[in-house]
Amino acid sequence: MIFQFKADPKLDTVDENLGPVIHSYQDRPLGWGDLFTTFAPAILFTMAPLAYGLYRYRYDYLRHGPIAARTWSWPWFALTAVALIPLLPCIVDLPS
């Protein structure tokens, strides 16, 4: 089966290379359910290393001291910062 995604129904033509158009899907605005299923997992996967880094910092600070806590938890904070870079344009409304 070959699917072609087109936004304009006037473009329902047969392309010899791809075969006949089976279905044409129209654009629709994002709803609350779409926002939840798209951004909730992204935020969860971004904030999970932060939560683990804070846990590691507290655990290591209490057991080994502040130098060990900083040393052993900074990779998790760096991973959070790297994961936050592609998520920021989705969260913050940047002016066009």
Torsional class of 14: left (φ above 0), alpha (ψ -120 to 50), beta (otherwise): beta
Average pLDDT of the residues in 66-89: 92
Give the least confident one: 13-22, 41-50, 66-75, 77-86: 13-22
The average confidence (pLDDT) of the chain is: 80
Does residue 96 lie in a domain region? Answer: no
Looking at the domain assignment, is residue 15 inside a domain? yes
3, 41: one domain: no
16-29: per-residue pLDDT in tens? Answer: 666 677 777 777 77
Percent of the chain with pLDDT over 70: 73
Position 64 confidence tier, pLDDT thresholds 50, 70, 90? very high
**pTM (two decimals):** 0.61
Query: Is residue 78 left, alpha or beta, with left meaning phi > 0 and alpha meaning psi from -120 to 50?
Result: alpha
**Residue 63 in domain:** yes
The parent domain of residue 21 ranges over 1-28
